[in-house]
A and B are shown apart, each in its own frame.
Chain A
Amino acid sequence: MFLHNLKYEIKLVLRAKSFIIWLMLFPIILGTLFKVAFGSIYQNETFDTIPVAVVKISENEVFDEMLTALTTGEQPALKAISEEEAKAKEMLFDGDVKGILYVGKTVELSVSGRGMTQTILQEIVGRCRVYETVIRDTMATDPSSLEAVIKELSTEVDACREVPVTQGNPDVYVQYFYNLIAMVAICGCNTGLHVSIDNQANQSVVGARKNCSGTPKSINLTAGLIGSCISQGVSMIFCVTFLRFVLQVNFGGNLLLLYLCSVMAGCLGVAMGFFIGSVGRARFEVKVAIAMSISMVLCFMSGLMMGNIKGILAEKAPWANRVNPVAIISDSFYCLNIYSDYRRFLTKVLGMGIYIVIFTILGVLFARRKKYASI
C-alpha cells in the first residue's frame, strides 16, 4: 500500500502544472534574469574617457600641466572642454559633460549626480591635489629635485600585494544564485502544503476520501512526504544543473556536495510546507498566503533582494542568520565555496537536518487524530 501511494504521489506532483512552473520554469527564468543583470556589472566597470568642463577662475600652472597629461595619450582619462560657468552648467545638465572643474588656487569639482563616473572623477581630482601638493613642496624646498620627484610620482608602484582569502569563487553576486536555489528549495513548501491539505478532510475532496479509506493516515502521510521529497529533489537537481551548466555560474566547492545539499534543502522546504499546512484549520488560500509570505520574508532576510542584509543582521541580530532556514541553506552553499575544510558546511547541513526533523515531527503531531463532526 505504501509503494502504491508513493507511486501515485510522485505522479500527482509531477503532473501538476504548478509544480512545473514553480520548480522548473522559476529557476530558468529568474536564473537567466539574474545572469543577465549581474553578468554585466563587472563589464560596466571598464574605463572610458570622461568628458569634463573646465572653468578657470585663476591661473594654476601645476594643474594645467597635470590636465595636459590627463587629456593626452592613447586612452586619456579626461576630455577637457574650457567653458564659461553658465555654459559649463548647461552642458552638465544636458549630460554633455560629467563634471565641472573649477580651477583656481585649488581645484574644486561639481557633478550632476552620484555614479561611478563621478566617483572616478573625484579620485582623479584627489590624485591631482596630491601631485600639486608634492610639487609645491618640492618647489619650496629643493626645486632642483623636481625632475626626480616627478619621475618617482609617475613610476608605477605595486606596493600592495593581495593575499587570497579563499580558493573558491569570491564573486559577491554568486550569493544571489545561492539564494535563488534556496528560494526554489523553500518554495517546496507548496508541495509540502499539498501533502498536508490532501490529508485533511475539511480542506480538500481528496482529503475527505483519504480520511474514509482503510489506509492508515501514517502510511498516507509518509508516502506523501517521501513522494514530495523525491519530486522536490529532482527539481533541485534540475535547478542546480541549469544554473551550473547552462548559465555557467561558478559555485566553487565540491559539486556533488552541492547537489546533495540542494536536495536536502528541497526536503526542508517540503517539511516546512507540511508543518504550515498541518497547523490550524484555516482555509487553503490563507495557508498558501502564510507559506508564501513567510518564505519571501525569509528569502529577503537571507539576501535574495539585498545582498548586504545578512551582514546587517549579523551585526544587529546575529541569531536571525542562525535560525533562518533560507539563510542556513544559502550559507551552506557559501561555506562549500569559501572554506576548504567542511567544518562550517557540516554545521549548516546539521542545522538543515534539525529543521527537517522538527518540522516533520510537529507537522505529524498537528495532523494526527483530527476528527471532523461536519465537513
Chain B
Amino acid sequence: MQVFNAFLRVLRSKFGSAIIYIVLFFIVGIMMTRADSGTSVWEKTKMVMVIEDLDDTPESRKLVEFISEGNVVKDDFTNEDDITDAMYYTMLDYVVTIPKGYAEKLASGQTEGIIESRHMHESYAVANMGMLLDEYVSTVMAYRQLGKTPLEASEAACKALGAKVDVTIAQEEGKTEDAASMMLIYFRYMPYIFLCVIMNTLCPALVAMNKKDLRFRTDCSGLTPQSYTMQQFAASALYIVALWAVFTVVGAVINGVMFSGRLWLAVLNGLVFALFSAVFALFVSEFSPNPNVITAITQIASLGMCFLCGVFVDQALLGGGVLAAARFLPAYWYVRLIRMLNSDIVFTTGEAALCLGIQAGFVAVFVLLTILVHRARYVSAAPRKAAAGSAA
C-alpha cells in the first residue's frame, strides 16, 4: 500500500490549490443551476416586451390587450438608449410599435406592415411572436368578412386566439418529480465541473508521482508495475468518489432535494462521469505535462466537450452532424440520460442502461490506454535506459 499512501500524501500536499478549484467551481455549478430557469425550448416562456401605442384607438388598445396576455409588458424605459441597452442585456425581448393610422388601415382592409416590431436576438419565441401578430390581423380580417366592425372583429380575434392548447407529456413510467428538476439542472452541468476540478486537482498529484526521482526509486523496488498502477488507480478512485460524494450531497442540500426514484440514476450517472474524468486525468498525466499545459488541456477538453455534447446548449438545438460527432464523447451520453430523466426525451430503461454502459466503456478504454502509455513510456523504457547507461 506504499504507493497508495504516497499518492494520498502528495494529494494532501496539494490540497491548498485543490480547495480553491473545488470551492470556485462549486460556486460556478450553483450559479449555472440558478441561472438556468429550466424551461426548455418546448415551453412557451413569457416574453418581456415594450408596446408603443402611437395610434391610441379602441382597436389599437385591443391589440395591446391581446399582446399583453401571457407576456410581461414593461413601461419603465425613458429613452431609446435604455431600450437598446435592455435588448442587449436580454432583459427585453421584443418591442412592438402600433403606428398612427392602424385603426384606419384595419378598417380599409390594408394589412401590409401595419404593425412594427424590433428585436435584437433571433429566437423561436421572437419568430413566433411575429407570426402571432400576422395571425391576429388575418383573423381580424376574417371576422370582418362576417360584417363585424374593426373593433368587434378585434374582440372576436382576441377570443379565438386566446384559446389554450392542452399538451400532455406521455410517459412510459413514473414522471420526474418537479422538486427534482432543479437537481437535474445541477447534474446537467456536472461534466464541466467534474472535468475542471478533477483534471486540475488530480493531474498535478499524478504528475508528481511520475517525477523521475520518485519513479526511479519505485522502479528499483520490489513493486511490480501492475501493483503500482493498481494502487494509483485505487487512490485516485478513492479521491474521486469522495469528491463526487461532496458535490452530490452538498448540491442536494443546497437545492433542497432528497434523492428518490429515478434521481438515483442521475447520481449514478454523475459517478460514472466522475470516474471517466479521473481516468482521463490519469491518461493525460502519463505524459507529464507542466501546470500550464494541464490547465490548457482541461479547458479545451471541458469547454469543447460540453459545447459539443449539449451541456451548455440544449442538444435539441445542435445540428445532426454535431450530435453524430458528439456520440463519440462520453458527455453526450451523460446529457442524454439527464434529458431522459427530465422528460425532454422518452425514458426507457434499456436506453438509460445504454447511456451508462457507453460511459463505462469510455472509462475502460481510457484505463487500458493509460496502462499502455505507462508501459510504453516508463516500464519498457527503463531497461533500454539502463542498458544505454551501462554501455556508456
Contacts and interface: CB of A to CB of B under 8 A. Distances in A.
Interface of B is mostly: helix
B387 interface: no
Given A40-B321, A165-B119, A288 B91 contact: no
A25 B292 CA distance: 13
Interface string A291-326: 011101100110011101111101100000100000
Contact of A314 (B42, B91, B322, B325): B91
Contacts of A44: 317-320
A112 B134 contact: no
Interface residues of B, number: 102
A154 B344 CA distance: 34
A18 B136 CA distance: 59
A95 B32 CA distance: 31
Secondary structure at the A interface, as helix, strand, loop or mixed, is helix
B24 A296 contact: yes
Nearest to B297: A21
Contact of A33 (B17, B97, B304): B304
B90 A166 contact: no
A4 interface: no
A308 B45 CA distance: 14
A149 B24 contact: no
Contacts of A21: 292-293, 296
Nearest to A180: B303
A210 interface: no
Contacts of A306: 32, 35-36, 312
B146 A22 contact: no
B179 interface: no
A315 B37 CA distance: 14
Interface string B87-102: 1111100000100000
B84 A165 contact: yes
Contacts of B87: 165
B346 A152 contact: no
Range of interface residues on A (Cβ < 8 Å): 35 or more
Given A137-B160, A283-B16, A311-B91, A119 B42 contact: yes
B143 to A, nearest CB: 7
A112 B172 CA distance: 9
Contacts of A283: 16-17
B245 to A, nearest CB: 22
Contacts of A50: none
A60 to B, nearest CB: 15
Contacts of A305: 32, 192, 303, 306, 312
A141 B146 contact: yes
A262 to B, nearest CB: 19
Contacts of B318: 37, 40-41, 44
6 contacts: A123-B128, A162-B119, A170-B120, A285-B14, A289-B20, A304-B303
Interface of A: 16-18, 21-22, 25-26, 29-30, 33-34, 36-41, 43-45, 89, 92-93, 95, 100, 106, 108-116, 118-119, 122-123, 125-127, 129-130, 133-134, 137-138, 141-142, 145, 148-149, 152-153, 155, 157-166, 170-172, 190, 282-283, 285-286, 288-290, 292-294, 296-297, 300-301, 304-306, 308-312, 314-315, 321, 334, 338-339
